Amino acid sequence: AQSVTQPDIHITVSEGASLELRCNYSYGATPYLFWYVQSPGQGLQLLLKYFSGDTLVQGIKGFEAEFKRSQSSFNLRKPSVHWSDAAEYFCAVGGMEYGNKLVFGAGTILRVKS
Amino acid sequence: DTEVTQTPKHLVMGMTNKKSLKCEQHMGHRAMYWYKQKAKKPPELMFVYSYEKLSINESVPSRFSPECPNSSLLNLHLHALQPEDSALYLCASSQDPGGPHNEQFFGPGTRLTVL
């Protein structure tokens, strides 16, 4: 079965600093990888997704992620964080044999200090 | 219209009550989902409907009863819930039921409190 690990429960960065959120997945075949963001009490919004092709994926709000098969990782990055980026970020993995089912990581809470 | 709507936004119910959560999308999506999210936890899949038929039930207790009356609507009927069922209930939809690569669009959720 697929699984996702987000090793950082909380991360605090200064506004304007760069950000990297880590995600490691376990899946035997080609994974379908997603990053979602959730503000408190809200639904999830997709930031970006990877299925195949270019391993560097651009998303909304200035985010990008890089798929590294050798490291089973799909880390999320942003060069300059804004206070409005404070939220919880979830990495998720899916796969053909699991149909529509997504498995989410535990999430990383991002705090931005001014 | 790229929105999934959910009503009500908040719901408080007693353990003997019967209530329903409603979800609606008008994007022509053929897969719809119910997730349960406890505080400080990731969403957990409960049910998936594909072409208005239940395709996945993640061993959810029978006090939760999903219904898909048509391709745009998804309901979750609640009966005899327990306090531990208090959570944020999220609805989502995606275009292609057979495609794991399809983005799931999430609604804002219903915050359920069971007294």
**Predicted confidence (pLDDT) per residue in A49-89, tens digit:** 998 888 999 999 999 999 999 999 999 999 999 999 999 99
Tokens of A97: 């044999």
- Please answer yes or no on whether B101 and A51 come within 8 Å at the CB atom: yes
- pLDDT for B97 beyond 90: no
Q: What is the pLDDT of residue A101?
A: 82
How large is the greatest C-alpha to C-alpha distance in chain B, in angstroms? 40
In the block, tokens 């760069």 appear at: A18
Dist. CA B59–CA B47, nearest whole Å: 9
- Please answer yes or no on whether B100 and A32 come within 8 Å at the CB atom: yes
Which DSSP letter does residue B72 get?
T
Mutation pick from A6, A32, A44, A90 vs chain B, by most beta carbons of B within 10 Å, is: A44
CB B43 within 8 A of CB A103: no
Give me the residues of B, 60-89, that contact A with CB < 8 A.
88
**Confidence category of residue A30, pLDDT binned at 50, 70, 90:** confident
B27 touches chain A (CB under 8 A): no
Dist. CA B105–CA B91, nearest whole Å: 8
**Confidence category of residue A48, pLDDT binned at 50, 70, 90:** very high
Tokens of B30: 């053929």
- pLDDT for B101 beyond 70: no
- pLDDT for B98 beyond 80: no
- Please answer yes or no on whether A41 and B41 come within 8 Å at the CB atom: no
Of the candidates A99, A96, A103, A105, the residue with the CA atom closest to the CA atom of residue A30: A96
For A28, phi then psi, to 5°, come to: -75, -30
Within 8 A of B107 by CB-CB distance, chain A residues are: 43
For A108, phi then psi, to 5°, come to: -125, 125
- pLDDT for A97 beyond 70: no
Which residues does residue A4 pair with via DSSP β-bridges, in sequence order? A25
Q: What is the pLDDT of residue B40?
A: 87
- Please answer yes or no on whether A43 and B101 come within 8 Å at the CB atom: no
* Bridging pattern class, strands A108-113 and A10-14: parallel
